[in-house]
Amino acid sequence: MIEARQLTKTFRDRKRGEIRAVEGVSFRVEPGQIYGLLGANGAGKTTTLRLLATLLQPTRGGATVAGFDVVTQPAEVRARVGFLAASTALYARLTARETLAYFGRLNGMAEADIAARTRSLADDLGMHDFLDRRCDKFSTGMKQKTSIARTLIHDPPVMIFDEPTLGLDVMAARTIVQFVRECRARGKTVIYSTHIMSEVEKLCDVIGIIHDGRLLAEGSLASLRASYRENDLEEIFVQAVGGLAAPAGGNVNPP
Amino acid sequence: MNGRRVLTIYGKELRDMLRDRRTLVSMIVIPTLLMPLIVGLVVFVSVKVIRQARAESPVVMVAGGADSPVARAALLAHGKIRAVPATEDWRARIANKAVRAVVEFPAGFDAALERGEPATVKIFHYEGELRSGFAVSEIQRFFSDYRERTVTARLAGRGLPATFVKPFAVQVENVAPPEKVGGNVIGGIIPYLFLLLCFTGAMYPAMDLTAGEKERGTMETILCSPVSRLELVLGKFLMVLTASLGTVLCSLVSMVGTVSLGGPLLVAMVGANRGAGAAAALPTLDPLGLVAVLVLVLPMAVFFSAVLLAISLVAKSFKEAQSYLSPLVIVIILPAVAGVLPGVELNGRLALVPILNVSLASKELVSGVWHWPHLALIFGSTSLYAALALAWAVRMFNREDVIFRT
């Protein structure tokens, strides 16, 4: 489970002064649920997810991930999170097997467990052909699969995806989307950030619209459609961030 | 902190770096080839130049002396110079190296000597020109012999012994051991090279493991694993230190090889006669002193590794890191060069100046001088600087604005 409580992150910039990247963001994601964080570039999606993954420390507020506090128990949190982003790359000079073993060891797994887990992940993802080849020789698809396996090696209960399909072709993006669905099916708590409307429509059980660091609207696709009296998610998004129409109640945060 | 995780990170970085051709070149190939190349080239060229210059008899112009056939004939008979008749443009000829020196006899030189009157022979040369210098010393050697013969003849004519003008002799003898002599000539260069290699060996991996990882996007991947920042710094730091010390070790092995195999090899290459002379020009170093130099270089390597890690972490890309670190090479070279300068000697205050202290102490150590209080001070202060630098690196890794500066 993920629970964010008034998460706030302020950065100091020499030129622009204080920047509030995330402000008072609260939400809750249950196991077996995909929470979609929808927002434009610079809306605060990445910062929010980095706060949840304890890569950054909140300026105010807090969050609990898999029962652990992100501020006081960051290592415990990271041990229970699989984090996949467009910006999380693979070590070019390691093979896929070495990559998995490395992250398995860092997660405190025994060698036998790592070997067994690597086998089963390679079975699931179809990685046997390239398991012992170096990552710098991989196609995009192979890299995706290896990255997915890397996030899953320690079988974390919580998965955080930060625009994982960014820059991928249709087929590679489909692999990711399929994989996110499987995570839900296995009862994992999933949070997924993107600016692609169709991905949100296809995947997410709950959608949070984030803009300028604030969560402006939240709810299932159906409830958002109902509250904005609009079928098209893009229109709903524009209205939510532009404040063109006041939401008509439901699970919507005040703007 | 979990020690096993630190070792896991270190092991992975080591494997990663050993698969990188650029690391292998900077860590093994360059330091291994550098020593024999430098020593070999310096020894070979200098021996060759000196021998060639000595072997060729310098061309010397003899002016005047038409009325002094005795002295003139003696000079022309001197086998070490090639005398040629004087011409009007002798100054130009010295300048364009056609003639190395000009000897000018004053008028009535023979007669003046006969009468016991003073006379001055002039030698014209080109100051700073090596072969012109050889010519002058050769001419001076001839005239001092000639003068001695004249004096002996005059003394004999008056029935006086040779000791009349030479009441006592002065003899200069060297008491420094051979390694001390070697230490002063080449001893300054070797620790300097160690320091430089210790720095350059750490430079590439430090950039690759920080800014390089940011650029490739693997930094975020490792940060979202359960590894703590402290474990991450220590793992990476150990790798950079390994590269730094590996570089020094490679250069040390190569240097010992150069010195021990270089002599016989030179003899084999240029023939026993010349080779022996060339081999004598190779440095003789106190091996125990070399070990002590390594002990001093150890905290220095820790210091360099930590500082380089901390600085290159600020950079967004490998290229940016390069632009930060390259000027630092000058900072390393300056105190190291100051240590090589003659006259700069180790004292209590200089023992606290990083880099310079190690450079100065190394110069003494390889020439067999052990000044324990200074050595302790240097080791202590360098270790302190190293600890501070490492603490700084850990701090930098904990700063969000540094680690996520992309």
Which pLDDT tens digit goes with each residue over A62-107? 999 999 999 999 999 999 999 999 888 999 999 999 999 999 999 9
CA dist., res. B189 & res. B345, Å (int) = 15
Nearest-CB residue to B220 (from A85, A107, A108): A85
Tell me what pLDDT residue B260 has.
Answer: 74
Tell me what pLDDT residue A248 has.
Answer: 43
Nearest-CB residue to B225 (from A94, A103, A134): A103
Q: Using an 8 Å CB-CB cutoff, list chain A residues near B235.
A: none
Q: Does B129 touch chain A (CB under 8 A)?
A: no
Q: Which of B14-18, B286-290, B306-310 comes out lowest in average pLDDT? A: B286-290
Q: Using an 8 Å CB-CB cutoff, list chain B residues near A78.
A: 224-227
Q: Using an 8 Å CB-CB cutoff, list chain A residues near B228.
A: 75
Q: Looking at the structure, tell me whether residues B21 and B75 fall in a common domain.
A: no
Domain total for chain B? 2
Q: Which residues neighbour B236 within 8 Å (Cβ) at sequence distance 6 or greater?
A: B9, B13, B209, B210, B309
Q: Does B404 touch chain A (CB under 8 A)?
A: yes
* B173 within a domain of the structure (yes/no): no
pLDDT > 70: percent of chain A: 95
Mean pLDDT of A5-32: 92
pLDDT at A218 over 80: yes
Tell me what pLDDT residue B44 has.
Answer: 77
pLDDT band at residue B368, thresholds of 50, 70 and 90?
Answer: confident
Q: How far A20 CA sits from the closest chain B CA (Å)?
A: 14
Choice between B273 and B339, residue whose per-residue pLDDT is larger = B339
Q: Considering only CA atoms, which of B285, B298, B84, B52 is closest in space to residue B198? A: B298
Entry field: residues in chain B:
406
What pairing do the DSSP bridges indicate for beta strands A60-65 and A68-69?
antiparallel
pLDDT band at residue A250, thresholds of 50, 70 and 90?
Answer: very low
Tell me what pLDDT residue B49 has.
Answer: 73
Mean pLDDT of B349-374: 84
| HSE (side-chain half, CA atoms, 13 Å) at A98 | 18
pLDDT at A121 over 70: yes
CA dist list (Å): A98 to A79, A133, A150, B114, B177 = 19, 10, 10, 97, 55
Query: Of B137, B164, B191, which marks where a domain is finished?
Result: B164
Q: Looking at the structure, tell me whether residues B255 and B183 fall in a common domain.
A: yes
Reported as type and span, the H/E element at residue A5 is strand A2-13
Query: Of B164, B189, B212, which marks where a domain is finished?
Result: B164
Tell me what pLDDT residue B284 has.
Answer: 60
- Which residues constitute the domain of residue B67? 56-164
Q: Looking at the structure, tell me whether residues B16 and B153 fall in a common domain.
A: no
Find residues 7-46 of chain A whose CB sits inside 8 Å of chain B.
Answer: 11-12
Tell me what pLDDT residue A38 has.
Answer: 95
pLDDT at B262 over 60: yes
Tell me what pLDDT residue B178 has.
Answer: 58
Q: Does A93 touch chain B (CB under 8 A)?
A: yes
Q: Which of B38-42, B359-363, B396-400 comes out lowest in average pLDDT? A: B38-42
pLDDT at A165 over 70: yes
Q: Looking at the structure, tell me whether residues B382 and B306 fall in a common domain.
A: yes
* B172 within a domain of the structure (yes/no): no
Q: Does B404 sit within 8 Å of A56, measured CB to CB?
A: yes
Tell me what pLDDT residue B80 has.
Answer: 82
Query: What is the average pLDDT score of chain B?
Result: 84
pLDDT at B402 over 70: yes
pLDDT at B38 over 90: no
Q: How far A218 CA sits from the closest chain B CA (Å)?
A: 27
- Between the ranges B151-155, B257-261, B383-387, where is the mean pLDDT highest? B383-387
Q: Does A94 touch chain B (CB under 8 A)?
A: yes
Find residues 123-162 of chain A whose CB sits inside 8 Å of chain B.
Answer: 134, 150
Q: Does A89 touch chain B (CB under 8 A)?
A: yes
Choice between A53 and B365, residue whose per-residue pLDDT is larger = A53
CATH number of the domain bearing residue B92 = 3.40.1710.10
pLDDT in tens, B166-198: 888 888 887 766 555 554 555 567 777 788 888
Q: Does A244 touch chain B (CB under 8 A)?
A: no
Q: Which of A12-16, A211-215, B134-138 comes out lowest in average pLDDT? A: A12-16
Query: What is the average pLDDT score of chain A?
Result: 90
Mean pLDDT of B376-387: 93
Q: Does B24 touch chain A (CB under 8 A)?
A: no
Q: Does B12 sit within 8 Å of A94, measured CB to CB?
A: yes
Q: Does A12 sit within 8 Å of B15, measured CB to CB?
A: no
Q: Using an 8 Å CB-CB cutoff, list chain B residues near A103.
A: 225
pLDDT band at residue A254, thresholds of 50, 70 and 90?
Answer: very low
Q: Which of B111-120, B326-335, B336-345 comes out lowest in average pLDDT? A: B336-345
Q: Using an 8 Å CB-CB cutoff, list chain B residues near A46.
A: none
* Residue B39 exposed, middle or buried by CB count within 10 Å (0-12, 13-18, 19+): buried
Q: How far B304 CA sits from the closest chain A CA (Å)?
A: 25
Q: Using an 8 Å CB-CB cutoff, list chain A residues near B401.
A: 11-12
CA dist., res. A228 & res. A224, Å (int) = 6
Q: Which two three-digit tokens encode residue B224?
A: 């979202």
Can you give the C-alpha Rg of chain B in angstroms?
A: 31
Q: Which overall architecture, per CATH, does domain A1-80+158-255 show? A: 3-Layer(aba) Sandwich (3.40)
Segments making up each domain of chain A, as ranges:
1-80+158-255, 90-155
Q: Looking at the structure, tell me whether residues B224 and B90 fall in a common domain.
A: no
* Residue bearing tokens 């290459």: B269
pLDDT > 90: percent of chain A: 78
Query: Of B164, B191, B219, which marks where a domain is finished?
Result: B164
Q: Looking at the structure, tell me whether residues B190 and B91 fall in a common domain.
A: no
For residue A13, the chain B residue with the least C-alpha distance is: B401
Q: Which of A149-158, B21-30, B118-127, B144-153 comes out lowest in average pLDDT? A: B21-30
Tell me what pLDDT residue B253 has.
Answer: 85
pLDDT at B289 over 90: no
Q: Does B9 sit within 8 Å of A87, measured CB to CB?
A: no
Q: Looking at the structure, tell me whether residues B267 and B330 fall in a common domain.
A: yes
Q: Looking at the structure, tell me whether residues B95 and B41 fall in a common domain.
A: no
pLDDT > 70: percent of chain B: 89
Q: Using an 8 Å CB-CB cutoff, list chain A residues near B225.
A: 78, 103, 106-107
Q: Does B218 touch chain A (CB under 8 A)?
A: yes
Q: Looking at the structure, tell me whether residues B257 and B370 fall in a common domain.
A: yes
Q: How far A238 CA sits from the closest chain B CA (Å)?
A: 29
CA dist list (Å): B147 to A39, B128, B135, B140, B258 = 102, 27, 18, 10, 47
Tell me what pLDDT residue A107 has.
Answer: 94
Tell me what pLDDT residue B314 has.
Answer: 93
Q: Which residues neighbour A71 within 8 Å (Cβ) at sequence distance 6 or greater?
A: A57, A58, A62
Nearest-CB residue to A55 (from B16, B217, B224): B224
pTM of the model: 0.79
Tell me what pLDDT residue A246 has.
Answer: 44
Counted across chains A and B, CB pairs separated by less than 8 A come out at 65
